[in-house]
Amino acid sequence: MRVGLLFPGQGSQHPGMFDRFTGDSAAGAVFEEARGVLGYDARTRDGGESTVDAQIALLVGGVASARLLAANGIEACAVAGHSVGTFAAAVTAGALAFADALRVVRERATAMETLFAGGYGMAAIVGLREAAVRSIVAAGAALGEPVYVANVNAPTQFVLAGKGEALEGALARARAAGARRADRLDVAVPSHCALLAPVQDRLESVLSGIEVRAPRMAYVGSAGARVLRDARSIRADLAAGVAHEVRWCDALRTLVELDTTLLIEAVPGRVLTDLAQAAFPSVRAVALEESSVRSLRALAGLP
């Protein structure tokens, strides 16, 4: 089977997310390398109580997942990351050194946390079509309560970003329109919208001084959901992703068009696995956190 790796974004982190790597030497080396850069063991902050801790934990978990799989003969032909997951994808694709990714993600999360110390966030709407969600957003703008479509995860699953009060208004309109779910998310910053333009500017400056290489496998970008094959495009994507709408459903479609037949979601969680299974039932999607190496090798067609 052709394997694609999926790297989750903020909101998937949880206490105990690193338990999957206990006793694994390949993953252990990742934690030691991270300790050398961060000055602490990422395993002690797996709950991601702050934006910085959460994004660092997701990067470390993603890279540890890829290294564990590779050490067991499961090599990917394509990668895609949701939000901060793009950095783990870039490291796995050989486009960015892990140590550099740690420094950039720490800068990214710190800038986001500083810019939005409170009063902002994100919210999920499930069960409405895109046109209805866009109408809800337009209604908020007309009332002087702007919110933004941050993620298009599936044809009927969206994430909005903005001020807390404006989000509550949008959620009320979504419930009135018949949404199956309309809830705030445990995310303290309004990611993937124009409010994050200053963070994108900061990332562009930081990444300009870091070596980014052409990937050794297909890297599906965040901002455009297309395959990026050169260093310049990947550098731009890693910076732009923070302030641009993420069309994850399109990224999944691109992976399927690349003939990936097995999608493995890196630690933590199974959010991306569920989205892939619902959108493309002909493609096998599994979460590493819930799978043994033996079963993954069998799915990949390895002895």
Q: Where residue 49 falls among pLDDT bands split at 50, 70, 90?
A: confident
Return the axis-axis angle of helices 85-92 and 231-240, rounded to nearest 10°: 160
pLDDT in tens, 131-181: 999 999 999 999 999 999 999 999 999 999 999 999 999 999 999 999 999
Confirm whether 192 is a catalytic residue. yes
Q: What's this model's pTM, rounded to 2 decimal places? A: 0.96
Q: What is the pLDDT of residue 190?
A: 96
Which percentage of the chain shows pLDDT scores above 90? 95
pLDDT at 280: 96
DSSP string, 156-207: TEEEEEEEHHHHHHHHHHHHHTT-SEEEE-S--S--SSGGGHHHHHHHHHHH
User: Which amino acid, residue 38?
Assistant: L
Same fold: 3-115+194-299 with 120-184: no
Does the pLDDT of residue 8 top 80, yes or no? yes
Answer yes or no: is pLDDT of 118 > 90. Answer: no
Tell me: pLDDT of 31 over 80: yes
Instruction: Classify 120-184 by CATH class.
Output: alpha beta
Q: Is the pLDDT of residue 294 over 90?
A: yes
Q: Where are the domains of the chain?
A: 3-115+194-299, 120-184
169-219 confidence digits (pLDDT tens): 999 999 999 999 999 998 889 999 999 999 999 999 999 999 999 999 999
Candidate list 12, 65, 192, 222, residue with the active-site label: 192
Q: What is the pLDDT of residue 186?
A: 84
Per CATH, which fold does 3-115+194-299 belong to? Malonyl-Coenzyme A Acyl Carrier Protein; domain 2 (3.40.366)
Of 12, 65, 83, 233, catalytic: 83
Evaluate if residue 48 carries a pLDDT over 80: no
Q: Is 65 a catalytic residue?
A: no
